Amino acid sequence: MSGPAVYEIKESAHADQLALTGVWNQSGDAIAAGLTNLVQFPWDDGVLLLGQATNGQLQSYKLTSSPPFVTPITSNFRLLNPCDILKPFVIGGQQHLIAYRAQQGELSFHRVNPNLTLSKPYQYHRLRSPGLTTGWTLLQPLTYMNMVYYVTYDIKSGAVEMFNVHVTATSEEDVPPLQTLNVWSWTWAHGWTHFAFFEFGGENFFFKINVDTPNVNIDHLNLDPNLRSNEVCTQQGKQLPENQDPGLMVRSFSMLNGSPYLMAYLPAEGKTTCFRVNSDCRGWTQVAQAKTVADSSDIVTYRIGDRSFALFY
């Protein structure tokens, strides 16, 4: 297995093309092995990378746009218990994390403190419909008109939910003053995976692949969350022939020009292909293909200033 590596994503010398340039390869144990739930968010003049260790604790690393690129840092991020999904979001101008445990249907909302600790959690769960919180395989925070929401999905049942997050007037000591409520519940086909969310024209879209009934499409989440989502394009498998490969990973990223892009990675081959989402959002155009490290288990894309990067882990 190849070790972790960082690639910078740049404009190519060829018009409308991108290039992936390796800028860092792990030597020693800069990033611990066996991490899951890798997430990133802006921190100081770079990016803070978190990963969940096998004991459930969070390991921390600072990512920068110049050497050493990856630096382990001391932190004291402690979750109540290991989680199945970990996601960052910002509300009230402060960085937060959602830790989700699927079997219990439990969500824990933590504020990220400046001293690299987590607040006590605001906890939420609902064990009946609408808004049942067990069994999710997707949880994605996003914003509509400067308000915070998160979308969830269960790959087995096809249940899809949207919840809002609000700041409340008061809270218990060190617990974020937050409240979350179900906005809408719906049902899609089962089997959707490889979600990649992106913004286009200030609105929210997402790419996804169905592995039970093969399909590849892009959906639009309306500015009014009560209108749910609608397909912008569907049956686009020919544009991504490897869409049913069991090892495939898909991530979204953006460049300085603001256009959304998709990155498709085949770990067995170490092949990475980048696509620019077309302006009508009804497909995508290949803009790069590169031989990258093989056998990575996760990819984290991020921006620092006007530069774009991808960490292969």
Q: What is the dihedral sign for C-alpha 93, 196, 25, 78?
A: positive
Q: Which residues of 205-244 are buried (b: 16+ CB within 10 A; e: fewer)?
A: bbbbbbbeeebbbbbbbeeebeebbeebbeebbeebeebe
Q: What is the pLDDT of residue 1?
A: 54
Determine what percent of the chain is predicted with pLDDT higher than 70.
99
If DSSP codes are grouped into helix, strand and coil, which group holds residue 98?
A: strand
pTM over 0.85: yes
The share of the chain scoring above pLDDT 90, in percent, equals: 90
Q: How far apart are CA 193 and CA 198, in angstroms?
A: 15
C-alpha radius of gyration, the chain, whole number: 19
Measured distance CA(96)–CA(90) in Å, rounded: 6
Checking if the pLDDT of 2 tops 90, the result is no
Predicted local distance difference test score (pLDDT) of residue 27: 87
Q: Angle at the Cα of 24 (from 19 to 29), degrees rounded to 5?
A: 150
The predicted-structure confidence for 201-237, as pLDDT tens digits, reads as follows 889 999 999 999 999 999 999 877 678 899 999 999 9
CA–CA distance, 286 with 205 (Å, rounded to integer): 19
Determine whether 250 is exposed, middle or buried from the number of CB atoms within 10 Å of its CB (0-12, 13-18, 19+).
Answer: buried
Of 17, 75, 19, residue with least CA distance to 44: 75
39 by Cβ neighbours in 10 Å (0-12 / 13-18 / 19+) ranks as: middle
Query: In this predicted model, what pLDDT tens digit does every residue of 39-93 receive, in sequence order?
Result: 999 999 999 999 999 888 999 999 999 999 999 999 999 999 999 999 999 999 9
pLDDT (tens digit, 9 = 90+) per residue, 233-270?
999 999 999 999 999 999 999 998 888 999 999 999 99
Q: How far is CA 136 from CA 131, 158, 187, in A?
A: 11, 10, 13
Report the pLDDT value the prediction gives residue 226, as an integer from 0 to 100.
74
Residue-wise pLDDT for 171-200, tens only, equals 999 999 999 999 999 999 999 999 999 999
Residue 311 has pLDDT above 80, yes or no: yes
Q: Residue 270's pLDDT is what? A: 97
